[in-house]
Each structure stands twice: as structure tokens, then as C-alpha cells.
Chain A
């Protein structure tokens, strides 16, 4: 009986409209990201279409500019250290919270998750005043600590998700064979949850690599990161070097996305034999 609906012309029109709507939204989602790439290879010194011709001038300008290279370097100093700290602290916390029920667990979890929902400006202002007292503003250490705070929740979420798929019987089997808890963790648990830990680390890295508000509050020009340099670039003089920088950032985020997808697939594959 309902075939009648699917065959009616109205239905076909509705389906067509729905499909085009979805395609339009997908175009809406991807256009602002893709529109930058051609401009970074543009000959003209304006960030506008149509394109005059192909040139690598803006990439040369990017790699010749002390401001951009300094910013890139700073990002690659701050993000990895913050990632390492967040990953270690977050992984331990996730393991601690995962399977055991203890009093205060809910409180612990809400403390761990709170940096994610707190508006970033409030965190920035709070850290600004707090770090000013500790003489940590305008220092790498201050930025690393701040980015670690922002990264921890992401690590805890991904590692917790990985632990949810981890079968506790593996640990029990290893223990019954005489392994100490540390050996169990190192040789059994960790290798199995490693994809979760690594994707948590990638999330933390992406958070730090993309963070700008806290950096604007805490950093002086000598700790300027890539997003901070882009922020002031858009604000002050928008020129095609920004397009080159954006394309470089875009490629790195695509690489991050692909690695996380790969790890997720691998994790799913590893889990399959259990069920």
C-alpha cells in the first residue's frame, strides 16, 4: 500500500528536494574550507577571486617571514609538550575512573570534564590573573600548562571509550598467569587501548594547535602561536600569506583526521573477535 507514496510524483519531487537540500548543506560545509586553497597559489596580492595565475610566492613569503616561522615553531614547542602532559594525566585518570565505583567518582568526573564546557574567555581571564601572580604569563610554561588543562578532557573521553570496549577478562587471565598489575598494564591493557590513547593525544594536540583565546591573554609576541598570528593577520592586514598558512593548517588537520579515523577503524577491528 505504501508503495503508492513512493511512486507518486509528489514523493519523487520531495525526494529530489531533500537530496538537493542535503547536497547544498554539504557544499555549505565544505566551501569555506576549500575556498582558501586556490588563493594561496594565486599570483595576485589580493585575497580575492578570480585568480590571476599560479605562483608559490605566498608559501615563499610564509617561510621567509620571521613572524610566521616563529609562530609555527612556538606551536610545535607548546602543543607536543601540552599533549604529552594531558595524555599522561588523562590516561591515568580514565583508567582510574573506568571500571571502579568509588565515592566521589561523579565529582571527579565533573571536575575533569569542566574545562570543556567553561567558556574559554573565562578560563583565559582566570589563568591570566592567576599566572600573573606566579609570574607565568608571557612564558612557554604558562601556555603549556594552560593548553594541558584544555586537553585533559578530550584524552579522558577517548581513553574511557577505548576502555569501555576492553574486556577485563584479559587482565584477569594475565593476573592468574602470575603477572603483576604493572606487567598486566604494560603488556596487556595498554597495547589494547593504545589506539584510544593515541587518538586522545591527537585530540589534545589539535586543541592546543588551534587554541587562540587563552594564548592571546597569556602570551607575549615571543610566544606567539600559529593561530594567534592568524588572528592578528585577519584583524590587521589580510593578505595571501594567511591563505598559505591556512592551507598548511588545513593539510595538517586533514592528516590528523585521517590518523584518528585509521585508529578508530583499527580499534573496531581489534574489538571484533570479542563479540
Chain B
């Protein structure tokens, strides 16, 4: 008896040991992929998200100026020493090729400061000049204003909330320290809530696209599931082929169909619905229809997979018990597809809010989603902080949605 107990314990120990070994081998196999993704995905992702609160341009490039400004009273024009430090910093910045960053950063506060920096850089006093202050002021009279120096001090903190606030169209006024709404000037027109409108447009467009994907995709999936297997497989190819076709090929297809002398217009004229060609491109309608087309398989395929597993006898039983077929369908059939439906909806929505290519090619300026503006601020205006803040917005939505998605699919797996 004792011997068997000891035997059992030894066996257990060996089992544990082999289990541990197996777990370690598992970890070891996963590590290359994880390391790769951490290095080439998570770090860059974290880097771009951090850029929304990091504010390095001023405190890094004007160090001695900021040091000298510590003794400044904050109301009058600073003294000679500060100007001397400024000139040194600017000269150093120019030597390292980072002078543009200073001008750009101050330009976010007000465009006149960007002009001021470039004007000053052009007429930077020579090292032997004694009266640095007046030379600098001559280059740009703005240096005389205490508000200029306040702005420099204001924008010199290491961390900043300005980009995140700006992505919701607010800023903190440097003078009063209060939250104030910002307007953006477009074609000489003051536009309020610019970025919030983009956010809502993105969500609204994704909502519309998801809605139509359900309305069209659900019946299609049901219809496919009702067909005999052979025929269903044949029709499924018609869903799978566009799904596999390159995004750009499909967008080109819609371009050909929807252009003003394209087939859609030809058909509309033939049916006498319109008498002269309408132009769909660029336009919201073209973006909607192309994105619905692209995302539809993502809802049809999971729904079809779920529906194939549902026995039609439930429906027949409900009808034989006296339910109207429509009523039976909604009470006996639809609830069984909820899991697939929810997953499909979230998948389509998550993909839709991040879309860039299709709106960029088929949409006008008023049809662009957040992704377009992230690209715009990164590549066109070089306002990287704002691009990062918009990325944070988009990422936050995606994280919340995919958390919900994982909850749903986890529950489904357990069930």
C-alpha cells in the first residue's frame, strides 16, 4: 500500500515535470512570433499613440532659451540675455537641421509664429553683433510681444494634452487656462467642431454600411443555407470570388460602373429614371455601395456557417404548431443565429471605421473618414501630434469593440 502511494506520487511528479516541459516548449514556440510582433507592431503602435501626448520640439530644441526665461517676469519683453540664448539655440537647431520643427510646433499655436521663426532664421545676427535683442526684433517685431514668449513657455512642457483636446476641437487658452472651443478656417469659412464631425461621420458611415450589410447579407445567407449543398457551394463561389479579389480591382470595378458614362448611368437612362448622366464619383453613394460590396462577404460567410448548422425542423415544428411562417422565423430561427450575427456585425463595423482606400478613391472631401485625416496630418501638413491623437480616437473605438467581440466569441465557444 505504502509502496503504491509512493509510486503514485512519483508518477504524479513525472507527469507534472513532463507537463511543465511541454508548457515551456509551447512558450518557446510562440516566442519568435511574439517577439517579432512586439518589435514590429506593438512598439511602433505604442510609439504613434504616445506621440499624441509627447511634446518634444520646444524643450528639446530651445534648452538654453527656456533656462534663461526662468528669470523672466512674464509681462515685459525679456532682456538681452534671453535673446542671446535664443539666437544660440536657433543657430544650433539650424546646424542640426531641426529648426523647421520649432517653427512648425509654434505654428500649431498660431501660424504667425511659423513665419516669425523662418524670418528670424533668415536674418539671424552674426556672432560678433553686440545688440542681439534689437537685431532679432528687427527680424520679426513679434519677439517684442510678451505673448510670444508666453506661448514659447506654454508649449515647452514635455507632455501635452493639446493634440488630444484638438482632436475634439478644444484647446486650453494659454492666457486664461480655460478650455475653449476651436474653429478651423476652410476656404475662408470658420468651421466649428471640425474633428468631432469627422469622428461622427466615420461612425455614421460605418453604421450605414453595417446596417445595409445586415439587411442584404442576412437574407442572402439564409437563402444560401436553404439551398441543397451542391447548389449552395456553387453560389458560394459568387460570394467568395469577390471576397478574394483585390480591393483595388473591386474599387476599379465600381469606378467603371458608376462613372458618369458608366453602366449604372446607362441603365438609369435606359429605364428613363434620369434624363442626363448623374455623376456618382466622387460621392458618398459610391463610397457606400463599394464598401457594402467589399464588406458584405464578412457578414454572409459567418452567418452562412452558423445557419448551415441549424436544423430546419425547428421552423417546421413552429409552423406545425400554428405559428405564422414569418413569426416562426423570427422566434425560432433568428435567435439561433444571434451569435454569428453579432460577430459579423462587429467585424464589419471594426473594418469599416478604419477604411481608407475606398473613400479615398471614390469619395469627395466630404466623404472621407478618420483614416484619411490621419494620413493627411502625417504626410501633408506634418502635424504628427494631431495625427497621433486621431489614431488614439480610432484605436480606442476599435479596442472597445474588439473587447466586446472577444467576449461574444468566447461565450459562444463555451456554449
Chains A and B come from one and the same complex: yes
Q: Which B residues from 32 to 54 make CB contacts under 8 A with A? A: 32-34, 36-38, 40-45, 47-48, 51
Q: Which of B215-242 contact A (CB under 8 A)?
A: 216, 219-220, 223-224, 235, 237-242
The answer to whether A100 and B26 touch (CB under 8 A), given A118-B45, A119-B354, A234-B252, is yes
Contact at A149–B357, with CB atoms within 8 Å? no
Query: Quick check: A111 and B42 within 8 Å, CB to CB?
Result: yes
Across the interface, A122 reaches (CB within 8 A) one of B48, B224, B245, namely B48
What is the interface of chain A, defined by CB distance below 8 A to chain B? Answer: 1-2, 5, 11, 18-19, 21-22, 25-26, 28-36, 39, 47-49, 89-90, 92-93, 95-97, 100-102, 104, 108, 110-112, 114-115, 117-131, 145-146, 148-149, 152, 156, 181, 206, 209-210, 212-213, 217, 227, 230-231, 234-235, 238, 242-243, 246, 249-250, 253-254, 256-257, 261
User: A103: shortest Cβ distance to chain B, in Å?
Assistant: 9
Main secondary structure of the interface of A (DSSP, over half): helix
Contact flags (1/0) for B350-373 with A, using CB distance below 8 Å? 100110110001000000000100
A97-B30 in contact (CB<8A): yes
User: Is A36 in contact with B249, judged by CB distance below 8 angstroms?
Assistant: yes
Contact B248 A227 (CB under 8 A): yes
* B contact residues around A119 at 8 Å (CB): 353-354, 371, 394-395, 398
A129 x B246 contact (CB < 8 A): no
| Distance in angstroms between the alpha carbons of A2 and B321 in the assembled complex | 9
Q: Contact between A126 and B45 (Cβ–Cβ < 8 Å)?
A: yes
The answer to whether B51 and A129 have CB atoms under 8 Å apart is yes
**B379 → A minimal CB distance (Å):** 8
Give bound CA distance, A21 to B254, whole Å: 21
Q: In the complex the two chains form, is B248's CB within 8 Å of A230's CB?
A: yes
Residues of A within 8 A of B356 (CB): 120-121, 213
Residues on A with beta carbons closer than 8 Å to the beta carbon of B240: 257, 261
Q: Which residues of B contact A231 (CB under 8 A)?
A: 248, 357, 361
Is B44 in contact with A129, judged by CB distance below 8 angstroms? yes
Q: What residues on A are CB-neighbors of B26 within 8 Å?
A: 95-97, 100, 102
Q: Taking the nearest CB of chain B, how far is it from the CB of A28, in angstroms?
A: 7
Contact with A along B362-402 (1 / 0, CB 8 A): 00000000010011001100001001100100110010001
Q: Which residue of B lies closest to A206 (CB)?
A: B244
The one of B22, B224, B235, B290 in contact with A100, judged by C-beta atoms closer than 8 angstroms, is: B22
B391 interface neighbour in A32, A114, A122, Cβ under 8 Å: A122
- Name the B residues within 8 Å of A230 (CB-CB): 246, 248-249, 252
Q: Check A257–B48 contact: CB distance below 8 A.
A: no
A145 to B37, CA, bound (A): 10
Is A126's CB under 8 angstroms from B246's CB? no
Question: Is A115's CB under 8 angstroms from B41's CB?
Answer: yes
Flag if A29 contacts B239 (CB, 8 Å). Answer: yes
Shortest distance from the beta carbon of A204 to any chain B beta carbon, whole Å: 13
Q: Which residues of A contact B32 (CB under 8 A)?
A: 89, 92-93
- Nearest-Cβ distance from residue A18 to partner chain B, whole angstroms: 7
Q: Complex Cα distance A181/B28, Å?
A: 14
Q: State whether A100 and B23 are in contact (beta carbons under 8 Å apart), knowing that A48-B262, A112-B37 are contacts in the complex.
A: yes
Contact A118 B398 (CB under 8 A): yes
Say whether, besides A111-B42, A128-B378, A231-B357, A33 and B250 are in contact (CB < 8 Å): yes
Q: State the CA gap A22–B290 with chains docked (Å).
A: 18
Q: Does B415 contact A (CB under 8 A)?
A: no
B129 at the interface (CB under 8 A from A): no
Please tell me if the beta carbons of B255 and A238 are within 8 angstroms of each other in the complex.
yes
How distant is the Cα of A115 from the Cα of B36 in the complex, in angstroms? 12
Instruction: Tell me which residues across on chain A come within 8 A of B276, comparing CB atoms.
Output: none
Nearest CB on A from B260, distance (A): 10
Q: Does B157 reach chain A (CB closer than 8 Å)?
A: no
Q: Is B27 a contact of A102 with CB atoms below 8 Å?
A: yes
Extra contacts besides A32-B242, A95-B26, A149-B36 (11): CB < 8 Å? A35-B256, A35-B257, A92-B30, A115-B37, A119-B371, A119-B398, A126-B391, A149-B40, A242-B252, A249-B245, A257-B240
Known: A125-B374, A149-B41. A227 touches B246 (CB 8 A): yes
Cβ-neighbour of B28 out of A96, A125, A234, A257 (below 8 A): A96
B169: min CB distance to chain A, Å: 21
Q: Across the two chains, which residue of chain B brings its CB closest to A22? A: B223
Q: Does B319 contact A (CB under 8 A)?
A: yes
The minimal Cβ–Cβ distance linking A123 to chain B, given in whole angstroms, is: 7
Contact residues of B: prevailing secondary structure:
helix
| 8 A Cβ contacts from B130-157 to A | none
Whether B251 pairs with A234 at a CB distance below 8 angstroms is yes
Query: What are the 5 tightest A-B residue pairs by CB atom distance, in nearest-first order?
Result: A119-B354, A32-B253, A96-B29, A126-B44, A93-B33
Known interface pairs A5-B325, A33-B249; A90-B319 also in contact (CB < 8 Å) = no
Is B293 close to A, CB under 8 A?
yes
Complex: how many Å from CA A114 to CA B241? 26
On chain B, the residues within 8 Å of A130 by CB distance are 40, 43-44, 47
Give the residue of A1, A92, A124, A125 whose beta carbon is less than 8 angstroms from that of B33.
Answer: A92
| Complex CA–CA separation, A36 to B316 (angstroms) | 44
Complex Cα distance, B48 from A265, in Å, reads 43
Q: Which residues of A contact B30 (CB under 8 A)?
A: 92-93, 96-97, 108
Provided the pairs A148-B40, A238-B255 are in contact, do residues A253 and B245 lie with their beta carbons within 8 angstroms?
Answer: yes
State how many angstroms separate the Cβ of B347 from the closest Cβ of chain A: 9
CB pairs A–B below 8 angstroms (12 shown): A2-B325, A11-B325, A21-B219, A33-B241, A96-B30, A118-B395, A127-B44, A152-B33, A210-B248, A213-B356, A235-B361, A261-B240
Interface presence of B247 (CB below 8 A): yes
**Contact pick for A49, options B34, B262, B316, CB 8 Å:** B262
With a CB–CB cut-off of 8 A, which chain A residues contact B108? none
Inter-subunit contact B246/A209 (CB<8 Å): yes
Residues of B with C-beta under 8 A to A39 = 256
Specify which of B223, B252, B259 is in contact with A243 (CB 8 Å cutoff): B252
- Asked if B207 CB lies within 8 Å of chain A CBs, one says no
Output the least CB separation between A102 and chain B (Å): 4
Q: How far is the CB of A144 from chain B (nearest CB, A)?
A: 10
Q: Give A256 to B257 CA distance when docked, in angstroms.
A: 26
The residue among A5, A125, A249 with the most chain B CB atoms within 10 A of its own CB is A125
B253 and A102 form a contact (CB under 8 A): no
Say yes or no: A246 contacts B248, CB within 8 Å.
yes
Tell me which residues across on chain A come within 8 A of B241, comparing CB atoms: 30, 33, 253-254, 257
